[in-house]
Amino acid sequence: MKFLMQTIIDIANAVFKPIIDLGAAPIMLIVLTLLALLFGVKFSRALEGGIRLAIALTAIGDIINLLTTAYQKPLVDFVKSTGIHLSITDVGWAPLGTITWGSPYTLFFLLIMILLNVVMLVLNKTNTLDVDIFDIWHISFTALMAMYFGANLFVATLLILYIGALKIVNSDLMKPTFNDLLDAPDENPMTTTHLNYMMNPIIMVFDKIFDKLFPWLDKYDFDSAELNKKIGFWGSHFAIGVYLGVFIGLLSKQDVQTILTLAFTGGTCLELFSLIGSWFIAAVEPLSQGISDFATKRFKGRTFNIGLDWPFIAGRAEIWAAANVLAPIMLVEALVLPGNHIMPLGSIIAMGVTPALLVVTRGKIIRMIVIGAIEMPIFLWAGTLSAPFITGVAKQVGAFPAGVGSGTQIAEATKEGPIEQFLAYLVGKASEGQIEFIIYAALALIAYGLIFWWYAKQMKKRNAEYAAAKESN
């Protein structure tokens, strides 16, 4: 068995390593172009879609970096003013991605996830073809963490097969909500299997509690598009970005020039996010048409979805509004939360948190902020828990960030998949034969499946409501 596993790992490295080394945008250009060609799209149209997607991903990444860089120093100043020091340094997602892709096992896990997706498609257990192969590092991170804490490769593989199957099912469940949020037709193929949306079941629990206890707060909520219609520029993406920049600047006691720079940077970024969101739709149009034609001929009209990275929904201003309001809240929580040792700086713009909040609440900004504040401790505790693993592996593969003291632990405060990190820890410890951890791991895995089953029922009800509304129109 060990020899077979090693052989599969070697094959995965030989096939995928040269492609992965190109980076996310080139990977998606190649993948989307090849897929479109496989579904009968003309080469020029297929290549056009691939280039558009690569440009959209590059633009989104650059703008996120711009926003994070601009806002990080004022928030660091805010932290320094508190006089409190936490021992784990938040280095953001990039070093973690480098660390994970530095492991030869990641390509093995990529191969496993591709096979799982194909099997589920053939067995009609999903309609989503996951093409976001770069972000497989999130689920690989989970498997590697389980192995760090004691699991063998076989157990770690079983764990991510379990999680992977649920996140693929989740991509189908979310599809009508994405159509609603994007105001897109049913033919829109875009969805995602990104691991940050596996927080949806936990968020939905809080959302249902919100329905019971605080429904009156919804009357104070606003939709950015509707607000824009009513009050023009003052409700636009530009203006919302300006408000948030001023808020962060005042909170961190910046001078007038810095506050204005933050305001204009925020306005620019939010407006560009909205613009670039439309590029994703144009990018997948050739593939969408090819899949539609193929399904009509071969599968009696069966509809297929395309699993992309999460930023195709980045045009919704609520993601950024909630992220910027949650930033200072997360800082305050980090300072007072028992058991937390990580200072959220590198991932202070919480992209691992707000996309899932958007989907479950359907853009209700007050709910996003309240529920985000409630769930933030889960991320902080997960970051604290994973720090020894991240630090140890970073030093092993030579990816420990320069400028960080060698005796300092590193992590990411808003790493996608915090629940999965707890599962990895428990499964790893259970693999060492400790009876209490075996019990804890079994109960946690059962609870993980049961809450997802409940969440799936709620989403199916929501999707039935979408379908009924379309029929009535």
What pairing do the DSSP bridges indicate for beta strands 342-343 and 88-90? parallel
Chain-centre distance of CA 151, in angstroms? Answer: 25
If you search the block for the tokens 């991320």, which residue do you land on? Answer: 379
Contact 358, 387 (CB under 8 A): no
Per-residue pLDDT of the chain (473 residues; tens, 9 = 90+): 566 656 665 665 566 666 656 666 777 777 778 877 877 788 888 888 888 878 876 776 677 667 667 776 776 676 666 666 677 877 777 677 767 877 778 878 988 988 899 899 989 899 998 877 778 889 999 999 999 999 999 999 999 999 999 999 999 999 999 999 988 887 788 899 999 999 999 999 999 998 888 777 766 665 555 555 555 565 566 776 777 778 777 777 788 888 888 888 877 877 776 677 667 667 767 766 676 566 656 666 677 888 888 878 877 878 877 887 787 788 888 888 999 988 776 676 677 789 999 999 998 888 999 999 999 999 999 999 999 998 888 887 666 766 666 677 888 888 999 999 999 999 999 998 889 999 999 999 999 999 999 999 999 999 999 988 887 76
> Is the dihedral angle over the CA atoms 436, 439, 445, 447 positive or is it negative?
negative
Length of the chain: 473
Residue 284 tokens, joined: 């997948």
Alpha carbon distance 347, 83 (integer Å): 20
Give every CB contact of residue 94 below 8 A, 6+ residues apart in sequence.
none
Specify the pTM: 0.78
